Amino acid sequence: MRTASITRNTSETAIAVELNLDGTGVYSVATGIGFLDHMLEQLSRHSLIDLTVKIDGDLHIDQHHTTEDSGIAIGEALAKALGDKKGITRYGHAYAPMDETLTRVALDISGRPWTVWKVDLKGPRLGEWDTELIEHWFQSFAQAAGITLHVENLYGTNQHHIVESCYKGLARALRTAVEIDPRKADSIPSTKGML
């Protein structure tokens, strides 16, 4: 089983994450930020990655630390569960439509973290979640996971739909990228011999 558990405790957050790459999309998420919970549930369900996230954060200050540290912890768990990355498909991409919205996500589990974020969110909040923190979640996740991640909202007007399509696109791209390629299950998908 390709699984990982991460515990991350700082003066700002206490986080426990459990992740199973070969799951069925079962989740239990409690971050203290309702809309972030909803997005992480979408991430799990549509990637088929089982995900448990429990966070006790300093929300009396603001949502920044909880958002950032959740991305870091989930990214670290993903990287740990992937191990040496032997046999993975490595690349994944998805178009995620949601009503009037369409988002494209492409990623490479490369070991070279990079984020391109082309998503324009006009309102200050979704539920109680500050929208400026959403890009930061994706950056934190990609950095900790060691992936190259491109997220581009092609069009849309409803912010809820736009953000949800970003997470669903990430989920579907991850689902492809972490799968074992039966034609090369015994090798690292790189001419360098490591990722």
What digits encode the pLDDT tens for the residues 23-44?
999 999 999 999 999 999 999 9
End-to-end Cα spacing for the chain: 20
Q: Say which residue the tokens 């009037």 belong to.
A: 100
- Predicted confidence at residue 65, as pLDDT, reads 98
pLDDT digits (tens, 9 = 90+) for 157-184: 999 999 999 999 999 999 999 999 999 9
Question: Going from the N-terminus, what domains does the chain have, and what CATH number goes with each?
Answer: 3-178 (3.30.230.40)
pLDDT digits (tens, 9 = 90+) for 58-70: 999 999 999 999 9
Handedness of CA 98, 109, 25, 126 (dihedral sign): negative
Q: What confidence tier does 194 reach under pLDDT thresholds 50, 70, 90?
A: confident
Contacts 24+ apart (CB under 8 A), 8-11: 8/69, 8/72, 8/73, 8/76, 10/65, 10/69
- Predicted confidence at residue 1, as pLDDT, reads 85
Q: What confidence tier does 137 reach under pLDDT thresholds 50, 70, 90?
A: very high
Q: What is the 3-state secondary structure (H, E, C) of 43-59?
A: HHHHHCCEEEEEEEECC
